[in-house]
Structure 1
């Protein structure tokens, strides 16, 4: 990693960075603003409301999948598309939306994303069949991809030093809380309104949240920058097309896993990989021409960015599959109601919510060690989950899993928000939206690929007339978490070597 990159040349806290810690001052090497924006904490809460809405939708949908399957005669592949298609569309729009927010103003793009998300939620709720539901979910995912880079970009823009860590900690807590209450809220709605029509209201609940978020955003988010009529916005259209087509090509065969003979052939993934290589070549060429590329590849030379993005992508591929597997398994194999299934997976999300805010405060002190330790705790919890599932085969399983899931969740809260804080700590504010979009693109790709992989294993025996294979599917999720742990440990070792002035292997 090149610590002498121009964007980080002015850094003076090298030793602190090498330990993976966030510097106390301006993360980009600039002097902190003399007067922080007095609206910054209210603006943060607006961002958290929108983030809560997009993540609540994911966890509510998980608990409602069996009801959706009955309500619109969806196949197992359709259900994977309801979940993974959302993540796929989310990932395709993140980077262009982050770029637009950097150029046009984050409030403007944020409001557009929230409005589109609300309209797509309405379309999901009134969808008469699985095809239209999947289409509406794709639009909903794209809207989530539009608004989410603005959240991380606004945190970068409005907060400095330790305040930024606390802000990202609150964002992580919001992720945990939305995941925790989603299955319970979904279960209450389904129990109260009935499974045949109740699943539609899990989408309708987004509408008042979207209205409130738009109203508060217009009042409290920073005004967009003044428009310069002489300034040309460099959209890099070819870069947008190459990135979108490449991501779609790589993910489509993975997301389609489990459909059977009608799946997308594997060579499509090879075409997607080739398009991504072409994208990287084009972005370098575009930059050499003096133009402004969609993705400034210099971001990957910003210390901590590439390694943090890798850890986040792999981890999201592992832990998101846990909810997909357990909420369906509890209902279809153990006869749980949607509410009981939601309550059964709540310990993981509740533990994550508890430690996320704490992690935001500790990350500046412990740095990458905190993330590595959190991943270790998650893996220990998942191993305990596997032991319990192998030993308990009746309806008491939910009670027996509460402890292991709580342990895994406590570890997860020390991973997500601290990793985000460390990853973007040195990114210049003017590129915060693009960096946040690229970071979340990796997370959404990991989510889509992880759920597809775990889902294929989960349904493998059922396709042949057997039972749902929760145990093996959760082992796949645990293996992905183990890979993320290895990546984080290697990054931590590299940082410590640089701190001691030791040469890295191969140098």
Structure 2
């Protein structure tokens, strides 16, 4: 019998697949760590594609004869459809099975990667990237949902630590990986290998996922709130579209879409409340924000943190490549200390989050603020020729701090979420992070160019201004973390009934997944 079939037969409760509704004790799936490794590799690959293509835009523009505004859609189009798919895909995974959605998304991602690599024109490439982003959006919420489904207690913290490290590394090393691939695949069509490299990795991951991923995990009823999906998609598109068009003047031309998007999202929230009142199945349950402890503030913290965390890499790329004449690979290597610090700290944080909770996030954000502030000061004081080496210690400090932010925040945000809603909750959290990333990738390079023009091409000052915005985002996240830490301490002082580290809380019972699951009261 294949390993997954045997595990599914012996350990049905590990995946929450109890059709009869009978409550059973959770027992760990023997294949859970192997399954996690597959989902993390796929998650790394899909998140890496957000930034890896940025270093190839000049080559793409030359080879395909495209304008700068058109070729920018190769990056922004992927990010746009990625963000739009997250919440609906999370709900579909909850309703129809996470394994099924994961395999469909992975197959689509591989096919679209091959299509992008073979693209004969920029229009074909953009279409392939839009479809690839949708496929990646189907994958992302299943990653965090599988962790919710397969792990409990301290193991869940360690699993989220690895997931947080994956998010941090994929964001930070995108320019490095892109520069390395372009260096190895020299020539006019070298950029195509940025997409082709996904194909063999994706095929192997698909075969392993067939063997290792649990077959259960459906939330029960297979109904999808179509009206909610349309409202959320339209609202998110209205907010994100001006941001992804920022480099071609989208903010000045399309600013009115922000108001339209806010109105549509307000209607969406009201509609979802109505669906809940009728005992329906919303695409995103509002009670995740209003009644699930830690979810709302954790999503807000992730949003403001990703404003600076995502946008700063474009500022560094502009500073080093345009200002100092670095190659894409040299530019990526210059920011490697942040990636190394973040990856190491995220794994450690996953082991400590059950014991220290929000204190880790507060400590990490303090490190980010100090590290990025020191980086800005160094850029202003040292000669530009020495900047790459001089900022390494400060970036390492910021990276270590960043590693104590992402994975603990994911754990603290999702720890009280019922497993049956893990997909939509994870999709909502990652959508919030995508919103923050979209704001950052539009605002920080825009500010960089404004300061550059105002100072007569003073690149260190322009880079320091971008870093300043990142520091402000980290300070806003720090304020939210302190608020949540105080709430956590009040709950702990109030007694075990409200403890956050594993104890029972009001409104919980043993659900069909065999662990504590919220009972939402209408």
**Global fold match (TM > 0.5):** yes
**1:63 Cα deviation from its structure 2 partner:** 3.3
1:273 maps onto 2:266 in alignment: no
1:195 shift after superposition: 6.2
Of the three residues 193, 196, 211, the one matched with 1:204 is 196
CA contact (8 A) 1:86 1:141 kept: yes
Deviation at 1:393, TM superposition (A): 4.4
Gaps of 5+ in 2: 1-15, 17-21, 496-522
Which of 160, 163, 170 pairs up with 1:178?
170
Q: Is 37-46 or 473-482 further displaced after alignment?
A: 473-482
Instruction: String of CA shifts for 1:7-45, please: whole Å, max 9, x gaps.
Output: xxxxxxxxxxxxxxxxxxx9xxx9984431111111111
Q: How does 1:13-52 map to 2 (within 5 A)?
A: 33-52=25-44
Alpha carbons 1:252, 1:269 under 8 Å: kept: no
1:93 equivalent among 85, 96, 115: 85
Q: How does 1:229-308 map to 2 (within 5 A)?
A: 233-260=222-249, 264-300=253-289, 301-308=291-298
Q: Contact between 1:304 and 1:422, CA under 8 Å: does it hold in 2? A: yes
Distance 2:206 2:89 in 1: 17
Cα distance in 2, alignment partners of residues 275 and 168 from structure 1: 33
* Corresponding position of 1:405: 395
Task: Tell me the distance in 2 between the aligned counterparts of 1:423 and 1:249.
Answer: 26
In structure 2, the partner of 1:20 is none
Deviates more, 1:324-333 or 1:453-462: 453-462
Which residue pairs with 1:17 in the alignment?
Answer: none
**Residue 7 of structure 1: aligned partner:** none
Return the match for 2:440 from 430, 450, 453.
450
SS at structure 1 position matched to 2:442: helix
| CA–CA separation in structure 2 for the residues paired with 1:173 and 1:200 | 27
- One of 384, 391, 396 as aligned partner of 2:386: 396
**1:308: how far off?**
0.7
Specify whether residues 376 and 78 from structure 1 end up closer, same or farther in structure 2 by C-alpha distance, changes over 3 A only. farther
Of stretches 76-85 and 181-190 in structure 1, the one that deviates more from structure 2 is: 76-85
Contact 2:349 2:404 in 1 (8 A): yes
SS at match of 1:258: helix
CA distance in 2, matches of 1:450, 1:461: 16
Deviates more, 1:71-80 or 1:311-320: 71-80
Contact 2:78 2:133 in 1 (8 A): yes
Once the two structures are superposed, residues 147-191 of structure 1 have per-residue CA deviations (whole angstroms, 9 ceiling, x without a partner) of 111111111111111111111111122234434554333222222
Which stretches of structure 1, 4 residues or longer, exceed 6 Å deviation after superposition? 462-465
Q: Which moved more, 1:212-221 or 1:113-122?
A: 113-122
The question of 1:324 aligning with 2:324 is answered no
The match for 1:125 is 117
Matched, 1:495 2:488: yes
Using the TM superposition, give the Cα deviation of residue 131 of structure 1 relative to its aligned residue in structure 2, in angstroms. Answer: 4.3
Query: Conserved in 2, the CA contact under 8 Å of 1:258 and 1:459?
Result: no
Whether the 8 Å CA contact 1:85–1:448 is kept in 2: the answer is: no
**Aligned partner (choices 452, 461, 473) of residue 480 of structure 1:** 473
SS at match of 1:414: helix
Deviation, structure 1 residue 386: 0.6
- 1:435 corresponding residue in structure 2: 425
Structure 1 residue matching 2:433: 3-state secondary structure: helix
Q: Is the 8 A contact 2:228 2:272 kept in 1?
A: yes
Q: Secondary structure at the match of 1:223?
A: coil
For the 8 Å contact 1:86–1:138, the answer to whether it is kept is yes
Equivalent residue, structure 1, for 2:502: none
Structure 1 residue 481 displacement after superposition: 1.6
- The corresponding residue for 1:13 is none
Superposition deviation, residue 407 in structure 1: 1.0
Residue in structure 2 matched with residue 189 of structure 1 by the alignment? 181
How far off is 1:245 after superposition? 0.4
Larger RCO, structures 1/2 (Cα 8 Å, 6+ apart): 1
Residue 232 to residue 432, structure 1, CA distance change in 2 (3 Å): closer
What do you get for the CA RMSD once the two structures are aligned?
Answer: 2.6
Q: Does 1:340 align with 2:330?
A: yes
Between the aligned partners of 1:105 and 1:226, the Cα distance in structure 2 is: 4
Q: Which residue of 2 aligns with 1:22?
A: none
Q: Given the superposition, is the C-alpha separation of residues 493 and 79 from structure 1 closer, same or farther in structure 2, using an over 3 Å criterion? A: farther
- Number of matched pairs: 471
Q: Which residue of 2 aligns with 1:356?
A: 346
User: Which residue of structure 1 lines up, in the alignment, with residue 138 of structure 2?
Assistant: 146
CA deviation profile, 1:232-269 (whole Å, cap 9, x unmatched): 63211110000000111112223322323895422211
Separation in 2, partners of 1:90, 1:183: 19
Rate the CA distance shift 1:134–1:485 in 2: closer, same or farther, 3 A: farther
SS in 1 for 2:227: helix
Q: Deviations over 1:378-436 (max 9, x none)?
A: 11111011112212343321111211111111111101011101111011111111111
1:111-154 CA distance string (max 9 Å, x none)? 11111112222233233454443333322222111011111111
* SS of the residue 2:30 aligns to: coil
The Cα shift of 1:335 comes to 1.1
Residue of 448, 471, 478 corresponding to 2:464:
471
Task: Report SS of the residue matched to 1:190.
Answer: helix
Residues 242 and 276, structure 1, Cα contact 8 Å, conserved in 2: yes
Q: Tell me what 1:365 maps to.
A: 355
Q: 1:425 to 1:226 in 2, by over 3 A?
A: closer
Query: 2-side partners of 1:33 and 1:240: how far apart?
Result: 35
The gaps in structure 1 that reach 5 residues or longer are 1-25, 503-507
- Following the alignment from structure 1 to structure 2, what is the Cα–Cα distance between the partners of residues 385 and 262? 29
- Mapped to 1, the partners of 2:129 and 2:199 lie a distance apart of 15
- The answer to whether the Cα contact below 8 Å between 1:62 and 1:327 also exists between their aligned partners in 2 is no
